[in-house]
Amino acid sequence: MSIEINNLSKKFKNTLAVKNLNFKIEKGKIIGLLGPNGCGKSTTIGMMLGLIKPTAGSVLINQKNIENESNRTKLLEKMNFISPYIELPKKLSVEENLKVYARLYGVKNFKEKINDLMKQLNLYDLRSRQTGELSSGQKNRVSLAKALVNNPEILLLDEPTASLDPDVGDYIRGIIEDYASNQNATILLASHNMDEVERLCSEVMMMKNGEIIDRGKSSDLISKHGRKNLEEVFLKIVRE
Binding site for ligand ADP (CB under 6 A): 12, 15, 17, 35, 37-43
Our CB check for ligand ADP shows the closer of 40 and 54 to be 40
- Least Cβ distance, residue 90 to ligand ADP (angstroms): 23
Torsion sign across C-alpha atoms 117, 122, 126, 130: negative
Our CB check for ligand ADP shows the closer of 10 and 113 to be 10
Our CB check for ligand ADP shows the closer of 37 and 128 to be 37
- Least Cβ distance, residue 158 to ligand ADP (angstroms): 7
Our CB check for ligand ADP shows the closer of 48 and 117 to be 48
- Least Cβ distance, residue 205 to ligand ADP (angstroms): 12
- Least Cβ distance, residue 33 to ligand ADP (angstroms): 8
CA distance 97 to 227: 44
- Least Cβ distance, residue 22 to ligand ADP (angstroms): 17
Our CB check for ligand ADP shows the closer of 104 and 238 to be 238
Our CB check for ligand ADP shows the closer of 39 and 145 to be 39
DSSP the chain: --EEEEEEEEEETTEEEEEEEEEEE-TT-EEEEE--TTSSHHHHHHHHTTSS--SEEEEEETTEETTSHHHHHHHHTTEEEE-TT-PPPTTSBHHHHHHHHHHHTT-TTHHHHHHHHHHHTT-GGGTTSBGGGS-HHHHHHHHHHHHHTT--SEEEEESTTTT--HHHHHHHHHHHHHHHHHHT-EEEEE-S-HHHHHHH-SEEEEEETTEEEEEE-HHHHHHHTT-SSHHHHHHHHHH-
- Least Cβ distance, residue 229 to ligand ADP (angstroms): 21
CA distance 14 to 35: 21
